[in-house]
Structure 1
Amino acid sequence: MKITTVGIDLAKNVFQVHGVDEHGKAVLKKQLRRDQVAAFFVNLPPCLIGMEACGSAHHWARKLEGMGHAVRLMAPQFVKPYVKTNKNDAADAEAICEAVGRPNMRFVPVKNIEQQAVLALHRVRQAFVRARTAQANQIRGLLGEFGIVIPQGIGYIANRVPELIEDGANDLPGAFRLLVQRLLDHFKDLDRQVEELEAKIQAWHRGSELSRKLAEVPGIGPITASALVASIGDAKNFDSGRQVAAWLGLVPKQHSSGGKAGLLGMSKRGDTYLRTLLIHGARSVIYRVGQKAEACGWIAGVVNRRNKNIAAVALANKNARIVWALLAHGRNFDAGYVRQATTG
């Protein structure tokens, strides 16, 4: 009995394992506790192991690859069609084992420790930004109940609210002033946390040659560049720049049937955080172009033909393709680069 392919259904404590031989016959169905996984696979001959790309998947992928196994991670939505009948751990492990052997299956690159650490900084910063925005909106809403309107913009909270608390002409109750001061202190603490995390991301960006290279592209700054480098990893895992754009959900969603092609809005698949960074960076470029008296160039033409939202997505798509070209081919950004036509 030689096990060639194994599917693992990851969990917090109990892992389900399903293995097949070279003929596809099931020869292994086993439950493992977390502390038993490493001991079991270190004694197993090298084989192909499939897992869903979920919590702790990259950790176990690195660990099993260190034991000599070939590990492939798959998006859960690609595994779901292979689940037979009812859903349970054993059926999930069997579906993973079957899906990992499909020749047309798409896999998720395994991230190293440094990539995961940088992405953790981005996720925590994103959570603090959301909390800061929610706190600012709460302060603005509470003051609005007393007829005090603060202009939109995160900067007005720290500038205007202290003056309103000290102003005795607005008839605010003393208990309410103390409450708003407490909320303002919380807002400032969140703002400080965001700045500290941004400083850490900036420091990593300055030490990464690839990240500095991407930051030369208009519409891509240190935050976006570091997130792209950490998320994409080896750009050669993608066959083309369009695959990167599709991976980020920046291509049209297709709904075609009967030979009639139908293209809808952008698919919005993949990583929402990266897509948001690229689109907001594109909006910044469009804003700068609009400030010029005689704007010209590709993006100015798109803005003139369509609206700014469509132009922002188009520029984000273009930047995603540029990012792939820079990472996959080791090039530096050249604003005047013209692709040479190939001759037969």
Structure 2
Amino acid sequence: MQTIVRVGVDLAKNVLQVHAVDAQGRMVTNRSIQRSKFLAWCAQLPAGCLVAMEACGGAHHWCRQLLRMGLDARMMAAALVAPYRMQGKSGKNDANDAAAICEAASRPQMRFVPVKTPQQQGILCVHRLREGFKEERTACINRIRGLLAEFGVVLPQSPRALRTHLHDILEDATNDIAGAARIALQRALMHWQELNEHLHWALLHKSGPQR
């Protein structure tokens, strides 16, 4: 382990693949390691050893852990790693990917992704949730419009117009909307209102928790 100077790690949920080389670029090991044993394996590496991985789900967490152990943990965009897979697209597997990551990390001009702090990732979580809520709200509005159209009710495209008229439409017993559909549309309206509340929360917390 003490001869290792650079490690490429292919991350996964349960089993991680590592490809390690010495100062001459000769492979020392290419093996799979259980997620629960990965940090213990890394603890045997020499101080300052470069441990590289693709910037994907969980990568920031692993990098922070490795940096605290005194290792040089870095991340790269997957698009920058792909050209270093010697086997090409047809040879994509965990072992080859780990080797490609290890090779890519050795390049002097490689651009690495800065490691985010837990606080930065927390704010990113809020942004991602907000975007998800926006997409869900758009889908909910379109779903309501589609259901209304089944009963011949067509309203202007504006969400405001839909929100303004929907309650009266549901209360109007003279239209052809079936009872079960009225109940379903009421539930959809409640979901819309709930999503608005989630979006309001995300807006308040977009720069971090309020104090």
Fold-level similarity (TM above 0.5): yes
Offset, 1:157: 3.0
SS in 2 for 1:95: helix
1:181 aligns with 2:186: yes
What residue in structure 2 maps to residue 109 of structure 1?
114
What residue in structure 2 maps to residue 7 of structure 1?
8
Q: Deviation string for 1:45-89 (max 9, x for gaps)?
A: 121111000110000000001111111200111111111222211
When the two chains are superposed, the root-mean-square deviation of aligned CA atoms in Å is 1.7
CA–CA separation in structure 1 for the residues paired with 2:178 and 2:4: 74
1:20 aligns with 2:18: no
Offset, 1:206: 7.3
Partners of 2:52 and 2:102 within 8 A in 1: yes
What residue in structure 1 maps to residue 164 of structure 2?
159
1:198 aligns with 2:203: yes
Query: TM-score normalised to the size of structure 1?
Result: 0.57
Question: Could you tell me which amino acid in structure 1 is paired with residue 196 of structure 2?
Answer: D
**Pairs within 5 Å for 1:1-344:** 2-46=3-47, 47-85=49-87, 86-201=91-206, 204=208
SS in 2 for 1:28: strand
Partners of 1:133 and 1:154 within 8 A in 2: no
Query: TM-score normalised to the size of structure 2?
Result: 0.91
Partners of 1:143 and 1:149 within 8 A in 2: yes
CA–CA separation in structure 2 for the residues paired with 1:107 and 1:147: 56
What residue in structure 2 maps to residue 255 of structure 1?
none
Partners of 1:3 and 1:22 within 8 A in 2: yes
Partners of 2:204 and 2:210 within 8 A in 1: no
What residue in structure 2 maps to residue 286 of structure 1?
none
CA–CA separation in structure 2 for the residues paired with 1:174 and 1:23: 76
Q: Deviation string for 1:205-239 (max 9, x for gaps)?
A: 877xxxxxxxxxxxxxxxxxxxxxxxxxxxxxxxx
CA–CA separation in structure 1 for the residues paired with 2:177 and 2:3: 78
CA–CA separation in structure 1 for the residues paired with 2:179 and 2:13: 49
Offset, 1:173: 2.2
Q: Indicate the structure with greater strand content.
A: 2
Partners of 2:7 and 2:21 within 8 A in 1: yes
Give aligned pairs, total. 206
Question: Could you tell me which amino acid in structure 1 is paired with residue 107 of structure 2?
Answer: R
Question: Could you tell me which amino acid in structure 2 is paired with residue 39 of structure 1?
Answer: A
Offset, 1:144: 2.0
Higher normalized contact order (CA 8 Å, seq sep 6+, divided by chain length): 2
SS in 1 for 2:174: helix
Sequence identity percentage: 46
CA–CA separation in structure 2 for the residues paired with 1:164 and 1:145: 14
Offset, 1:189: 1.5
Q: Indicate the structure with greater helix content.
A: 1
Structure 1: 5+ residue stretches without partners: 208-344
The list of structure 1 runs, each at least 4 consecutive aligned residues, that deviate by more than 4 angstroms after superposition, is none
Q: Deviation string for 1:107-140 (max 9, x for gaps)?
A: 1111110010111011111111111110101111
